[in-house]
Amino acid sequence: MRLLKLTLHHIRRSPFQSAIAFITVFICFFILNFFLLINRGLSSVLNHFETKPEITIFLKDGLDQAKVESIQKELASFPEIKEIRYISKEKALSLYKDMNKDNPLLTEMVTASILPASFEISAFNPKVLEDISQSFSTKKDIVDEIIYQKDVIESLLSWTKVIRQSGLVLIGVSIFIAFIMIFTLIGMKINNRKDEIKISRLLGASKFYVKRPFLLEGIIYGFFGSLFGFILSFLIIYNLRTVINGFFQPIVFVSELSLFEPLLLAIEVLIGIIIGLSASWMGARRYIKW
Amino acid sequence: MEIVFEKVTKNYGPINVFQDLDLKIAPGDFVFVTGPSGSGKTTLIKLILNQIKPSGGDVLINGVAINHLRSKSEIDKIRRKIGVVFQDYQLINDLTIEENIALNLDIVNYPQNKIPSRIDEVIKMVKLQHRHFLFPSQLSGGELQRACLARALSIEPEVILADEPTGNLDVANAWNLLKIFKDINKKLKTTIIMTTHNPDFVDSLNEKVIKLGKTEHETA
């Protein structure tokens, strides 16, 4: 209790230094948590595409019914096929009109003849889709275009990778800044209180005894900085959840509350405490020489 | 606590402060350390506190040569048995007098629930009632010195080292403080080692005297 009282006394005696240390840790964990929640959403996007492997083969115009049926048979001969859907020109027009029902200008001039017929194939194993893509890409006489989601996933993956790497660098830099800030501020506070430390040492205080208030001070910055950093970033993202999820529909970018959030909070607060403690411990070790 | 100096020599660079100083202070003694400025009175206090090491010889506390102790925790343990009253008070300015005393009690692991009552006791002993909630900057020199003594007394020390405690006080306050020291020595049997260059104090109490000089050192 006396230790806590003394530590709070130290914090009150230099409020601006203390505020800087707190804000630095707060910003660090705001960025960290914001990034983690975005990363979770990106994983949902990737997962959405990865778990729904599909390929679309657009056919050339003028193919007769027999030819279409033979293509369908050939597709069905591949293993682990989940579903094969034939979209005729008429069906394609109907889908197109349905998609653009709010914009009559886009549908007025379009007829079934200008839209290609296509096959939409989904599979249990994405590897099969790759085989189909390779097999049909050589059949230029019947195939107009192949859209394979692997390309979409690869593009998403490369973007996600860039975002994740940038996030990691940002987190690393902000953690480093928070660490250096606490380390330096503890050093300054030790220097400001060197007479008090020297007196305590003369009265028989051990080195650990005089370090304790500074260590606890670091822990307090880490604890409250990480806690409030989490809470603010969490509140922002969850308040914008409807808008964000509407944008990514049908993918759930920001998921419902679960055990994940309290667990994440506990881990982040623990990391905050470790950062605060290690920075203040190194600061105390470096600057307490008496 | 028995304090023995065995052929202690102390040099600061080329300046020799002591040469082969021998002395023995028994438990319960009241000892004045006198001598002119620069004769080594404060050095003697610092040697007992192990703040500095002798250049030669040994400083023994209860038979242990403390200048050879390598463990800092052993040195801290010895310091926790010694109360110190400094000429310049050495109170922590942004703590109140009772907080200063409480800090010292906390350092020596005094039971937390007994700290408030112990503070009351020592405050009464040095007659600082109604002043204990003030900060050092709000007290007079005499009050500060008594506050410093209260802090030293609070830990129930075996020895009190007082380095020129009356140096900054007017005559009346100095005599009051000396009386308090004498009472403590008489009632609690606490060893008192007091440095002073006031011959009137030394003569008035008829106690053991260690005279330090620049050229020769004699012990009483």
Q: CB–CB of B82 and A195 under 8 A?
A: no
Q: How many angstroms separate the Cα of A67 from the Cα of each of A71, A73, A129, A140? A: 6, 10, 21, 14
**Contact at CB, A200 and B107, closer than 8 angstroms:** yes
Q: Is the pLDDT of residue A131 over 50?
A: yes
Residue B57 domain-assigned (yes or no): yes
**Lowest mean pLDDT, pick from A118-132, A218-232, A266-280:** A118-132
Residue A10, C-beta contacts closer than 8 angstroms, at least 6 positions apart = A189, A193, A213, A214, A217
Q: Is residue B200 part of a domain?
A: yes
pLDDT at res. B217: 43
Asked if residue B219 has pLDDT above 60, the reply is no
**B116 lies in a domain?**
no
Work out the average pLDDT over A92-121. 83
According to the model, what pLDDT value does residue B128 have? 87
Residues 28-67, chain B, touching A (beta carbon < 8 A):
49, 51
A203, A209, A288, A290: best to mutate for the B interface, most B CBs within 10 A: A203
Residue among A2, A6, A206 minimizing CB distance to B76: A206
Closest C-alpha among B148, B153, B190 to residue B173? B148
How many Cβ contacts (< 8 angstroms) between chains A and B?
A: 43
Please give the mean pLDDT across all residues of chain A. 88
Residue B34: domain span? 1-81+194-220
Burial class (CB in 10 A: 0-12, 13-18, 19+), A218: buried
In this complex, is the C-beta atom of B72 within 8 Å of any C-beta atom belonging to chain A?
yes
- The reply to whether B146 touches chain A by the CB within 8 Å rule is no
Q: Is residue B158 in a domain?
A: no
Q: Note the pTM of the prediction, 2 decimals.
A: 0.74
- Which helix (H) or strand (E) segment holds residue A16: the answer is helix A15-50
Check which CATH number belongs to the domain holding B51 and give it: 3.40.50.300
Q: Which of residues 109-138 of B touch A (CB under 8 A)?
A: 112
CB-CB under 8 Å, A9 with B112: no
- Ordered by where they begin, the domains of chain A are 2-49+154-287 (no CATH), 54-124 (3.30.70.3040)
Number of domains in chain B: 1
CA nearest B154 in A: which residue? A203
pLDDT in tens, B122-178: 999 888 888 888 999 999 888 998 899 999 989 989 999 999 888 877 888 888 888
Q: Does residue B77 lie in a domain region?
A: yes
- Chain A residues within an 8 Å CB radius of B151: 203
Q: Tell whether B21 is covered by a domain.
A: yes
Average pLDDT over residues A278-286: 93
Distance of CA B216 to the CA centre of its chain: 24
The end-to-end CA distance of chain B, in Å, is 19
- The confidence score (pLDDT) of residue A235 equals 92
B172 is a domain residue = no
